[in-house]
Structure 1
């Protein structure tokens, strides 16, 4: 898994920086609210606008990349993220930041969907190994993001936005230099292809499960900083621990559980435990130590979920992987965009405990949807045909498997 072409490493590196952008903003949610006289629900719109645009834009990612090639699509996405982050950092109103975060979401859609498809199609080894590599990049980015965001946010809430711009500029250069030119696809993708893919009940069920899971995930990510009521450095350190747990479980824990228990059984138990954890956060919202501990522990469940759901999406329907990713992401992000705003609104107007109860209930409902979808996912754990280029590649793969088992 670790012996990959330079093109895969270039995209993985860019993915690390792209996913830093998620956690980089988290430590400054409270400072933005305090300094711009905004409510939690207004600040949470930074996530809502970002996800809503990203979800809808996922429908065009395949259309664009199949016509101009993956490399150009990745570079365009990076340029848009650079502009969106810099303009958000230059804004003086919450709604201005919200608007530029929407532009950021467009760039992220073009980059993320194309990056996943590029790594899966270009990497050596199985789809599962390629996805673990992608999730490793995702986890590393999410882990480092809050730490960098806490440091920069301690100087100014604008710092993390400008930090994203600079880091994305580095990713742009690396991608431009190391990723070979990629020609357009032999067959152009239609904007209707993701909707056709959702006719497959397995893919649709997993997408709806992810939508409901997002209610729990973004309640934790977008709302928890407010009841924690700490400085940017402290929030950054807590979410750094969360990101480390997510990265470790996505790369090392998820594959072991999958081999032993199977993909769907592991997901069902994992989501049930995540729902229970959110219920603990709902009960213990007034305790900062309970919230901080639960945030870090949640990283373990989120990492397992991310790896196994991503792999399931790639295998759930007999469609091109880019189309499957676009269809899944459209439902997941587009439908889940309301979650951050709803969490903030419920916390302001009803009870600070209620957002976590809603998140726990939504994730538990996702368990039910996945259980009903299970008959359409029986093939997920079937052995894959892995193309190996040489005897040396087979030897390296055996060494990786042996090391993992050890």
Structure 2
């Protein structure tokens, strides 16, 4: 969202089924089910839906919010690029580990209290981040932010679906809109607040989360009392057992490799663009807008025309070429700016494609498949930012982009070599 959009869509789609059963509510209707004419107003939603919608936007801002202030943080706290990039490493490392327990937690706490717990954690750690005075404290607090985000987004879609009018399909459109707005606005807000102080974005998120908390606690109804419905509880062992399926393992490893390129772009590009906080914010606003638009509107057509796996490999190949171009013309400002923005379109398409592939890859529950896949994927996202900064320090600023491109191409080769194990995802998609 912004970068974990594919995980969020996958994780939360099944959470609708698991958590609502746990709370004694009816399971969500099929996305493809016809909508009653009386319920077709997309914007005619209860206040509780808009409260969750607003909180979703803020939560998804977290991915790109720190991008415009990375350089400023380095200057103010006297930190190297590799040290500053640890803000992404700690965030993603905690997200990876949290993926193993968010399903287990949400199936016990229920939708409302999982959402509120995530909001509180985000507010506390982002606020403390704004008060910190050294890079290592900030890195640790950013990890806490990642934990809160994991808890929140794991149940956000379930909340919107269970509260909205008009059916599941329209609820998902609202959720996708929240993702797009959050991923797009995050860098812009980060640049605006960061131009005053690098601490601004951290305090801004904390303040907005307090508002979101108040909105949810007042407007969102509590869980319905149990009426004999069984409480579905997931286990921490389930994601590991799911990785025995070769297809799911292939996509997980492929995503870990591809994330080396993704987070090289996200965490290191701000250091070579030569822009201030406002400028970096506008560049990543363009990146986020293209990511959001393509993930919703163009990816389904690519999937239909070329097939999921072929289209995904094509997008990743083009992304590798974009990273290679950034490596060749690192010192040419306009090239790096254009490449970052173009990459948003490629990544947006890939996000939707790989989500579909993972969800159709193995005969396991969707929440379990998502947890297993995202655990591997975020490990790649945790290693890549620090590694990119170190490569620049050891060699020169071009090397991280070339290495990122190599890892992305390696993911394409790996998926292609295992095509026999993953080609069935297109058959599953055609059957929907």
Q: TM-score, with normalisation over the residues of structure 1?
A: 0.88
Instruction: Determine the structure 2 residue equivalent to 1:320.
Output: 365
- Please give the residue correspondences for 1:113-192 in structure 2 after superposition, counting only pairs within 5 Å: 113-116=154-157, 134-182=175-223, 186-192=231-237
Instruction: Using the TM superposition, give the Cα deviation of residue 70 of structure 1 relative to its aligned residue in structure 2, in angstroms.
Output: 2.1
- Kept in 2, the 8 Å contact 1:223–1:343? The answer is yes
Deviation larger for 318-327 or 42-51 = 318-327
Instruction: Determine the structure 1 residue equivalent to 2:410.
Output: 365
- Kept in 1, the 8 Å contact 2:307–2:426? The answer is no
The number of equivalent residue pairs is: 383
Query: Take 2:84 and 2:108, find their aligned partners in 1: how far apart are those partners?
Result: 37
- Kept in 2, the 8 Å contact 1:59–1:326? The answer is yes
> Secondary structure at 1:379's aligned position in 2?
helix
- Please give the residue correspondences for 1:95-106 in structure 2 after superposition, counting only pairs within 5 Å: 95-106=136-147
Change (3 A) 1:20 1:233: same
Change (3 A) 1:173 1:328: farther
- Kept in 1, the 8 Å contact 2:360–2:429? The answer is no
2:281 to 232, 236, 241: 236
Instruction: Determine the structure 1 residue equivalent to 2:338.
Output: 293
The reply to whether residue 107 of structure 1 matches residue 148 of structure 2 is: yes
The reply to whether residue 88 of structure 1 matches residue 129 of structure 2 is: yes
> Secondary structure at 2:234's aligned position in 1?
coil
The reply to whether residue 15 of structure 1 matches residue 56 of structure 2 is: yes
Change (3 A) 1:294 1:121: farther
Instruction: Determine the structure 2 residue equivalent to 1:54.
Output: 95
Instruction: Using the TM superposition, give the Cα deviation of residue 279 of structure 1 relative to its aligned residue in structure 2, in angstroms.
Output: 0.7
- Please give the residue correspondences for 1:165-314 in structure 2 after superposition, counting only pairs within 5 Å: 165-182=206-223, 186-314=231-359
Query: Take 2:124 and 2:132, find their aligned partners in 1: how far apart are those partners?
Result: 12
The reply to whether residue 379 of structure 1 matches residue 379 of structure 2 is: no
Instruction: Determine the structure 2 residue equivalent to 1:3.
Output: 42
Unaligned runs of 5+ in 1: 385-406
- Kept in 2, the 8 Å contact 1:61–1:109? The answer is yes
Instruction: Determine the structure 2 residue equivalent to 1:394.
Output: none
Deviation larger for 111-120 or 101-110 = 111-120
- Kept in 2, the 8 Å contact 1:135–1:250? The answer is no
Bigger share in helix: 1
2:75 to 31, 34, 37: 34
Query: Take 1:147 and 1:312, find their aligned partners in 2: how far apart are those partners?
Result: 32
> Secondary structure at 2:272's aligned position in 1?
helix
Alignment deviations for residues 216-246 of structure 1 (CA, whole Å, 9 cap, x no partner): 1110010001111221011111111111111
Query: Take 2:387 and 2:369, find their aligned partners in 1: how far apart are those partners?
Result: 28
Alignment deviations for residues 236-295 of structure 1 (CA, whole Å, 9 cap, x no partner): 111111111111111111122222222222111111111111111111111111000001
- Kept in 2, the 8 Å contact 1:142–1:243? The answer is yes
Instruction: Using the TM superposition, give the Cα deviation of residue 310 of structure 1 relative to its aligned residue in structure 2, in angstroms.
Output: 2.1
Instruction: Using the TM superposition, give the Cα deviation of residue 24 of structure 1 relative to its aligned residue in structure 2, in angstroms.
Output: 1.2
Alignment deviations for residues 306-353 of structure 1 (CA, whole Å, 9 cap, x no partner): 122223333322333222222222111123301000000101111211
Change (3 A) 1:176 1:312: farther
- Kept in 1, the 8 Å contact 2:308–2:425? The answer is no
Q: TM-score, with normalisation over the residues of structure 2?
A: 0.83
Instruction: Using the TM superposition, give the Cα deviation of residue 195 of structure 1 relative to its aligned residue in structure 2, in angstroms.
Output: 1.0
Instruction: Determine the structure 1 residue equivalent to 2:106.
Output: 65
Across the aligned residues of Structure 1 and Structure 2, the Cα RMSD in angstroms comes to 2.3
Deviation larger for 6-15 or 158-167 = 6-15
- Kept in 1, the 8 Å contact 2:74–2:81? The answer is yes
Query: Take 2:349 and 2:119, find their aligned partners in 1: how far apart are those partners?
Result: 28
Query: Take 1:206 and 1:114, find their aligned partners in 2: how far apart are those partners?
Result: 23
Query: Take 2:119 and 2:321, find their aligned partners in 1: how far apart are those partners?
Result: 38
Change (3 A) 1:136 1:308: farther
Unaligned runs of 5+ in 2: 1-30, 32-40
